[in-house]
Amino acid sequence: MIDQFRKIIVSLLKEKTDLIEDEIDKCIEIPPDSKMGDYAFPCFSLSKTLKKPPNKIASELAEQISPVNPINEIKAIGPYLNFFLDKKIFSEVVLKKISNETDLYGSDAIGTDKTVVIDYSSPNIAKHLAVHHLRSALIGNALYNIYKELGYKCVGINHLGDWGTQFGQLIVAYRKWGEKNLEKYTITDLNKLYVKFHQEAEKDIHLEDEAREWFKKLENGDGEAIALWKRFKDISLLEFQRVYKMLGIQFDAFVGESFYNTMVDDTVLRIQKKGLSCISEQALIIDLERYNMPPCLLRKKDDTTLYATRDIAAAEYRSAEYHFDKMIYVVGSEQKLHFNQVFKVLELMGYDWANNCVHVDFGLMKFKEGRMSTRKGMVVLLEDLLIEAVERIKKIIEEKNPSLKDKEIVANDVGIGAVIFADLSTKRNKDVIFDWDTVLNFEGETGPYVQYTHARLCSILRKYGKAVTSNIDFALLKEDDAINLIKVLWQYPFVLLKSAQFYEPSLISNYLIDVCAKVNKFYNSHRVLSEDDDLTKARILMVNAARQIIKNGLKILGMHAPTEM
């Protein structure tokens, strides 16, 4: 989507300068204070070619360019040429567009006929989902929604960590110390075995070898190994699905690493035929020294495959299966090198689509005391956090709005939403310290704040009780508080585009805070419902537009927007 107001300014400037449209468009900015105008064109860059001071250029341009509808004033302020929109026309364009497009406001067609594969969440099976698994799942889910909104066909893949030496470890632990009634096992039981293995392995170095042997059996299709592994996987999936359901996260495919087991031999063979690999210290590797990277390991000395091998095979498979235009891996930044290696190998294999693979990395979540570790039991289970969030919200509802109907549903929406919003509101590449009171803070720049604002707007509309009309006198929306709100509403589609461009959902959560701050400012100083019918109608239209944007934005983040709370 293009900003039609911006476009008009570009065309006006194009007539009076020698610059091309793109250059002008890049320069145009939104002034820090709306008193200075709605759009501004800095004249510094022109001063070189024109050999005149920028202030002079600005004032000359201001004289030369006469304002045309919807611009009603062009004024030089220092070295800037500032454009003032006709507020009436601006409000009309914005509010009518939102009013017409409703749930589709913000959507775009740039992704039509393009496919994006998004690999997110991708936890290891046989371990609980813990809070540090949140980030990949939530960022991935949000990116899925963002790209879908922009017209892309999205394929969400949960690339389960269901293969690897760790399952050899688990099988060993189960056979040595496990209760034999596998039907009754939960993830907690598997987790205990996993922890036990690592405790014992510190005392007995042979255990690791034994585990590697069992993994080899697994890769070779040994009956007992496969049966155990399959059961471990079923137990895990059952519990994962429960938590995903709580979070409202879905996938198009649950395809784990094991799925590619039958393909890796072929993949490795082709790599070898291309002469990309060599043997080093008994392992099969691809030397990447030329590219300033450590080697990529394909096969261990016992011939079994590694994570990278399976990722390469998986990428090939996905390319053939989905013909993607872009493939996004939402995986922690500690795996940056791994993905750089994998992408480089794909490129060396001759795949031009290797350039369309992106590692969307994010910072580590840890405790004040240090790293989270399943092995050491240093985790907060995701499910526990979600339950606690909902419980705390229930208490607040009893305090503030005890007569609320559907308390359970609202508490769920708000509690889970608070956790989602908290996670998505900082830029993804920052490390985060997990702290109960931070995640479960419900005041200020939080999910509940956004949802609360939405609920209040809904409340006004309920009280109004009549149909919203866009047949209003737009001149009545004249207060700065109103105009500032409408201006920020106009930005939503561009924020969405930017969040896709940078793979950054936090742009949307921060934007929503901005919208809510402006809504609340208006709300606190102006009445919406009043004796003045025309004014009420006008403000209702604006309120409804703000409500719509908050709802659309929350949906992108994977949150519900309760109409009452």
Partner RNA sequence: GCGCCAGUAGCUCAGCUGGAUAGAGCAUCGGAUUUCUAAUCCGGCGGCCGAGGGUUCGAAUCCUUCCUGGCGCGCCA
Instruction: Mark the segment that binds RNA (CB under 7 A) among 173-181, 242-250, 343-351, 515-523.
Output: 515-523
With a CB cutoff of 8 Å and minimum separation 6, the contacts of 284 are 268, 272, 277, 278, 297, 298, 299
Of 338, 387, 332, 389, whose CA–CA distance to 365 is shortest?
332
Q: DSSP letters of 380-437?
A: -BHHHHHHHHHHHHHHHHHHH-TT-SSHHHHHHHHHHHHHHHHHHTS-TTS-EE--HH
CA-based Rg of the chain, rounded to a whole angstrom? Answer: 28
Selected binder of RNA within 107, 115, 261, 333 (CB under 7 A): 333
Q: Strands of 283-286's sheet, edge to edge?
A: 277-280, 283-286, 296-299
513 binds RNA (CB under 7 A): yes
Q: Least Å distance between CB 539 and RNA?
A: 8
Between 101 and 213, name the residue whose CB sits nearer to RNA.
213
Please choose, from the candidates 70, 58, 61, the residue with its C-alpha nearest in 3D space to the C-alpha of residue 8: 70
Q: List the interface residues with RNA, window 447-476 (CB under 7 A).
A: 448-449, 452-453, 455-456, 458-460, 463
Separation between Cα atoms, residue 368 and residue 377, nearest integer Å: 15
Closer by beta carbon to RNA, 3 or else 302: 302
Could you say which residues in the range 84-123 bind RNA, by CB under 7 A?
none
Alpha-carbon distances, residue 366 vs 129, 214, 495 (angstroms)? 15, 32, 30
Where in 177-216 is the site for RNA (CB under 7 A)?
212
Structure-token pair, residue 13: 């400037």
Q: Which of 77, 226, 246, 288 binds RNA (CB under 7 A)?
A: 77
Considering only residues 336-355, where is the footprint of RNA by CB under 7 A? 336-338
Residue selected from 8, 36, 201, 253 as contacting RNA according to rule CB under 7 A: 36
Interaction between residue 4 and RNA (CB under 7 A): no
- Of 115 and 529, nearer to RNA (C-beta) is 529
Which DSSP string do the residues of 468-498 spell out, in sequence order? --S-S-GGG--SHHHHHHHHHHHTHHHHHHH
Taking CB under 7 A as the criterion, which residues in 119-178 touch RNA?
A: 124, 161, 163-166
Q: For RNA, which is the closer residue by CB, 491 or 510?
A: 510
C-alpha closest to that of 526 among 554, 472, 484: 484
Q: What part of residues 377-416 is at the interface with RNA (CB under 7 A)?
A: 393, 396-397, 400-401, 410, 414
Contacts of 273 (CB under 8 A, 6+ apart): none
Nearer to RNA, 101 or 253 (CB): 253
Minimum distance between the CB of residue 121 and RNA, rounded to whole angstroms? 12
Matching residue, tokens 């240090």 = 370
- When binding is defined by CB under 7 A, the residue of 307, 317, 353, 367 that contacts RNA is 307
In the complex, minimum distance from the CB of residue 170 to RNA, in angstroms, rounded to a whole number? 11
The residue within the footprint of RNA, chosen from 445, 468, 475, 491 (CB under 7 A), is 445
Joined together, the tokens standing for residue 84 give: 């003032």
C-beta of 55 vs 115, nearer to RNA: 55
How is residue 31 annotated by DSSP? -
Contact window for RNA (CB under 7 A) among 38-46, 113-121, 234-242, 265-273: 38-46
239 Rama class: left (phi>0) / alpha (psi -120 to 50) / beta: alpha
| Local structure of 344: helix, strand or coil | helix
Residue in 268, 267, 265, 251 with CA at minimum distance from that of residue 160: 251
Determine the Cα–Cα distance for residues 431 and 367; give it in Å rounded to an integer.
Answer: 11
Which of 295, 475, 491, 555 touches RNA (CB under 7 A)?
295
Residue closer to RNA by CB (options 101, 514) is 514
Q: 218-237: which residues touch RNA (CB under 7 A)?
A: none
C-beta closer to RNA: residue 64 or 438:
438
Q: Which is nearer to RNA, 86 or 504 (CB)?
A: 504
Q: Which residue spans within 480-552 are E strands per DSSP?
A: none
According to the binding rule CB under 7 A, does residue 31 interact with RNA?
Answer: yes
Contact stretch for RNA (CB under 7 A) within 145-153, 268-276, 347-355, 426-434: 426-434
Residue 68 Cβ vs RNA, minimum distance, rounded to whole Å = 20
